[in-house]
Homo-oligomer: A and B are copies of this chain.
Amino acid sequence: MQSLSANAQAVGEVLNELLISGDAPEHRLIDAMRYTTLGDGKRVRPFLVTASAALFNVAQRSGLRAAAAIEMVHCYSLVHDDLPAMDDDDLRRGLPTCHIKFDEATAILAGDALLTKAFEVLAAQDTHADPQVRADLVLALARAAGDAGMVGGQMLDLVAEGMELDVPEITRLQRMKTGELIVISCEAGAILGKASADERHNLQHYAYDIGLAFQIADDLLDVEGKEEQVGKKTGKDAEAGKATFVSFLGVERAREQATMLSEQAIEHLDVFGDKAEPLRNLAHFIVNRSS
């Protein structure tokens, strides 16, 4: 998807500007933050931010800074998730994970610093002239990423090991663990653009649907994907005896479900007309990707 990679590059440039490694003895920290964020990710969340912001003619710089902040939060969550005490992963996007490349202490601190930096970026005047917008961005991201959102979802994922989750419980887990950050990515565009309640509502629904579709596609890749293509270890869920959408529905019905969610997501974009074409393309891309 061409617009996805163009946006990924633009966000990468902003991240590169925001994370300057100097010659202070602690530069190892910034090096680890850069290693974690400046790789070849798809940058789906940043794309959602800028594509949503574009619906409301938000200045490009504002969208890119908010996108960079949310990408920092996503990347920090991966770094901490990969730690030995958590998922204990050595490989991410085909490269050594942060604690393998550096060390565990550095990975913990780099994650902490990325999370902190995200809020610094959102709260800075350069992101938007209106302080109400900046405070709203911070509040929405903190809620999405915290104990009632992403981190809560990670905790739930850990305590659910060995529990028999049903589909509503798996849905809740995924909504917290990965869905909320996808929703705030779209909401950030709406906040920056001072969207109406109705517009924001539609974007939220779009985001929830593609978030779930994205997760099902991820589960399918874990079952069917090749390690070298996906860029991380596959077959992990089955190995861990983890209940996923695919283990419940089977491959075929899971694929149908993802496609149905993608189409449902697109319907929520009707109100935005042609301007929402990039978001429609993304909804298709998400369920058809191979990595």
Closest to A144 in B: B116
Q: A198: which B residues are within 8 A, CB to CB?
A: none
A134 at the interface (CB under 8 A from B): yes
* A147 touching B86 in the complex, CB below 8 Å, given contacts A120-B139, A134-B131, A138-B123: no
Q: A116: which B residues are within 8 A, CB to CB?
A: 115, 142, 145-147, 151
A275 at the interface (CB under 8 A from B): no
Q: A83: which B residues are within 8 A, CB to CB?
A: 108
A119 at the interface (CB under 8 A from B): yes
A104 at the interface (CB under 8 A from B): yes
Closest to A130 in B: B131
The CA-CA distance from A25 to B172 in the complex, in Å, is 11
The CA-CA distance from A24 to B169 in the complex, in Å, is 11
* A155 touching B109 in the complex, CB below 8 Å, given contacts A131-B131, A131-B132, A131-B135: yes
Asked if A112 contacts B151 (CB within 8 A), the reply is yes
Other contacts beyond A112-B115, A119-B141: 14, CB < 8 A: A24-B152, A26-B152, A26-B159, A80-B109, A80-B112, A86-B105, A106-B158, A113-B146, A115-B115, A130-B131, A131-B131, A131-B132, A131-B135, A138-B138
A-side interface size class? 35 or more
A124 at the interface (CB under 8 A from B): yes
* A166: min CB distance to chain B, Å: 13
Q: A122: which B residues are within 8 A, CB to CB?
A: 138
**Shortest beta-carbon contacts, A-B, top 6:** A120-B142, A85-B104, A116-B146, A123-B138, A29-B155, A26-B156
* A113 touching B33 in the complex, CB below 8 Å, given contacts A108-B108, A138-B123: no
Interface residues of A in 142-194 (CB under 8 A from B): 142-143, 145-147, 151-156, 158-160, 163, 176
Q: A25: which B residues are within 8 A, CB to CB?
A: 156, 159-160, 163
